């Protein structure tokens, strides 16, 4: 039987033409007309005023944190139910992640726990340098509540929308109000920064790559400067800041331009796939589907289910192995960051205003580094990890492919 992958790339006919144009122009290195065109098209699609095409979503997160002045001794609040690309740049800068649990409504950062954590910071007199909610599996976090909470404490928000291209949020404005108040806005809109990924498994891909977006032109221009080795405007190479080699290549941008043209079709198919699964499995005891919050229109990047073994008859791992036995890829949901062996959760108070320097990095018995962190909650994310499974969601799948997957899941239930 042919291999069914979890979320493989799905090319249209546009990409080959656009890549050919890039080769013909001889702009095959970073920068070039396709990069400019991709950034412009991205602005037009998302409604975010300024965009910067980069080598990865992780690079985009790093530049956002760097621009905000994150340094040793600082804390950054971040979703615990996320991919490590949201978190590793915090450690690059010597800061400490504080992992915030999910809510049940969206599986994203819990605004109530965020508020409690910021209130605790207020008592200690030191706030995080940023709050980083993840839009998990194509669903926007509760922007309105998160923005309003963070504005009270003057803490900037970086939206990790790496998984949420093509997702929309109703009323995503901040507390000062804006023209988007009662309209649908694209994932990442109105945050200080938002980060997107075009990795090979995303809803649109450039094979690798990312985008940093903001309504603040100065933010993006400084990030652009840093992403190009921070070269000062001289005919020779001169540097007054340390920068990075983070720009997207013109070839990858050409692929991105072609993929962006079919994004709406890809979202439509992702949602059809979710509904197909749900119609077939939604009434099976012990299976729950990832909810869609009322304020949100998810891209349904991946269809995710929760399995309660006592009701269903098998657990997630048994289902995953049964699918793998038939050459079908599925995957557990994100393991919460506070459970990752690279982090060392500490029960410590919020740093005082005068605290400086990086908290002690320890090593385990094999000599591997363990980075300090704090955790707020964690039970919800741990439950999602215990019971969650991502089902194949590639937009080129046929209904026959879906039926093949569904039959195996049902066999696990009957057995």
Q: Residue 175 has what pLDDT?
A: 40
Structure tokens at 322: 């049964």
Q: Residue 181 has what pLDDT?
A: 46
In the predicted structure, residue 353 carries a pLDDT above the cut 80: no
Rounded Cα distance between 53 and 209, Å, is: 7
In the predicted structure, residue 24 carries a pLDDT above the cut 50: yes
How does pLDDT run across 180-235, given as a tens digit for each residue?
445 899 999 999 999 999 999 999 999 999 999 999 999 999 999 999 999 999 99
Q: In what order do the strands lie in the sheet with 168-170?
A: 184-186, 168-170, 296-297
Local confidence band at 29 (pLDDT 50, 70, 90 cut-offs): confident
Burial of 231 from C-beta contacts in 10 A (0-12 / 13-18 / 19+): middle
SS3 state of residue 150: helix
pTM given for the model? 0.93
Structure tokens at 15: 């990409």
Contact indicator for 137, 303 with CB cutoff of 8 Å = no
Of 172-181, 213-222, 359-368, minimum mean pLDDT range: 172-181
Q: Residue 356 has what pLDDT?
A: 60
In the predicted structure, residue 326 carries a pLDDT above the cut 70: yes
Q: Residue 403 has what pLDDT?
A: 98
Through-space distance between the first and last CA atoms of the chain, rounded to whole angstroms: 22
How does pLDDT run across 289-325, given as a tens digit for each residue?
999 999 999 999 999 999 999 999 999 999 999 999 9
In the predicted structure, residue 355 carries a pLDDT above the cut 80: no
Task: For residue 117, give the nearest of 156, 161, 71, 149 by alpha carbon.
Answer: 149
Instruction: Name the maximum alpha-carbon separation found in the chain.
Output: 72
In the predicted structure, residue 66 carries a pLDDT above the cut 50: yes
In the predicted structure, residue 45 carries a pLDDT above the cut 90: yes
Pairing of strands 287-289, 184-186: unpaired
Q: Residue 105 has what pLDDT?
A: 96
Q: What is the mean pLDDT of residues 329-345?
A: 97
Mean pLDDT over all residues of the chain?
Answer: 93
Q: Residue 180 has what pLDDT?
A: 47
CA distances from residue 328 to 65, 111, 301, 322, 324 in whole angstroms, order as listed? 38, 36, 18, 9, 5
Q: What is the mean pLDDT of residues 346-359?
A: 67
- Name residue 228's beta-bridge partners: 245
How does pLDDT run across 83-137, given as a tens digit for each residue?
999 999 999 999 999 999 999 999 999 999 999 999 999 999 999 999 999 999 9
Pairing of strands 369-376, 388-391: unpaired
Task: For residue 133, give the nearest of 109, 112, 116 by alpha carbon.
Answer: 109
Contact indicator for 65, 91 with CB cutoff of 8 Å = no
Q: Which residue has the tokens 């690798």?
A: 208
DSSP 8-state secondary structure symbol assigned to residue 349 = P
Please provide residue 210's backbone torsions phi and psi, each rounded to the nearest 5 degrees. -155, 175
Sorted by sequence, the CB contacts under 8 Å of residue 198 that are 6+ apart come out as: 57, 165, 204, 205, 206, 207, 208, 209, 210, 211, 252, 256, 259
In the predicted structure, residue 406 carries a pLDDT above the cut 50: yes
Sorted by sequence, the CB contacts under 8 Å of residue 42 that are 6+ apart come out as: 48, 51, 53, 211, 213, 256, 260
Pairing of strands 343-345, 331-332: unpaired
What is the helix, strand, coil percentage profile of the chain, to 5? 40, 20, 45
In the predicted structure, residue 177 carries a pLDDT above the cut 90: no
Rounded Cα distance between 147 and 150, Å, is: 5
Contact indicator for 61, 343 with CB cutoff of 8 Å = no
SS3 state of residue 362: strand
How does pLDDT run across 224-245, given as a tens digit for each residue?
999 999 999 999 999 999 999 9
How does pLDDT run across 375-387, given as a tens digit for each residue?
999 999 999 999 9
Q: Residue 407 has what pLDDT?
A: 98
Q: Which residue has the higher pLDDT, 20 or 347?
A: 20
SS3 state of residue 138: helix
Contact indicator for 69, 207 with CB cutoff of 8 Å = no
Where helices occur in 243-398 by DSSP H, the ranges are: 250-261, 263-281, 309-312, 316-325, 379-387
Q: Residue 357 has what pLDDT?
A: 59
In the predicted structure, residue 23 carries a pLDDT above the cut 60: yes
Q: Residue 176 has what pLDDT?
A: 44
Structure tokens at 151: 């504005």
């Amino acid at each position: 039987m042919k291999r069914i992958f979890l979320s493989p790339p799905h090319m249209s006919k546009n990409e080959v033409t656009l890549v050919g144009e890039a080769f013909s122009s001889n702009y095959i290195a970073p920068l070039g007309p396709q990069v400019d065109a991709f950034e412009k098209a991205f602005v037009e699609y998302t409604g975010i005023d300024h965009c910067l095409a980069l080598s990865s979503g992780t690079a985009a997160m790093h530049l956002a944190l760097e621009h905000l002045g994150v340094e040793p001794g600082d804390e950054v609040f971040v979703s615990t139910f996320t991919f490590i690309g949201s978190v590793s740049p915090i450690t690059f800068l010597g800061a400490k992640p504080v992992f915030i649990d999910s809510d049940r409504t969206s599986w994203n950062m819990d605004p109530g726990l965020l508020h409690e954590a910021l209130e605790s910071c207020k008592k200690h007199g030191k706030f995080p340098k940023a709050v980083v909610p993840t839009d998990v599996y194509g669903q926007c976090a509760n922007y309105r509540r998160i923005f309003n909470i963070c504005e009270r404490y003057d803490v900037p928000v970086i939206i990790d929308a790496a998984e949420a291209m093509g997702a929309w949020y109703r009323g995503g404005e901040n507390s000062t109000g804006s023209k988007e108040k009662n309209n649908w806005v694209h994932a990442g809109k109105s945050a200080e920064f938002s980060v997107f990924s075009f990795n090979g498994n995303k809803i649109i891909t450039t094979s690798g790559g990312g985008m940093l977006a903001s309504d603040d032109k100065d933010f993006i221009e400084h990030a652009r400067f840093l992403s190009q080795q921070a070269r000062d405007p001289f005919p020779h190479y001169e540097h007054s800041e340390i920068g990075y080699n983070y720009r997207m290549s013109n070839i990858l941008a050409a692929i991105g331009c072609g993929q962006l043209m079919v994004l709406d079709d890809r979202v439509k198919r992702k949602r059809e796939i979710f509904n197909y699964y749900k119609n077939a499995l939604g009434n099976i005891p012990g299976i729950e589907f990832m909810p869609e919050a009322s304020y949100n229109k998810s891209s349904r990047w991946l269809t995710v289910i929760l399995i309660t073994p006592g009701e269903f008859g098998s657990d997630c791992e048994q289902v995953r192995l049964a699918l793998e036995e038939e050459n079908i890829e599925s995957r557990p949901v994100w393991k919460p960051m506070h459970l990752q062996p690279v982090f060392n959760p500490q029960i410590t108070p919020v740093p005082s205003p005068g605290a400086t320097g990086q908290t002690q990095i320890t090593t385990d018995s094999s000599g591997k580094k363990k980075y300090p962190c704090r955790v707020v909650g964690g039970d919800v994310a741990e439950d999602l990890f215990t019971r969650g499974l991502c089902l194949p969601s590639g937009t080129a799948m046929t209904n026959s492919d879906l039926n093949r997957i569904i039959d195996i899941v049902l066999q696990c239930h009957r057995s």
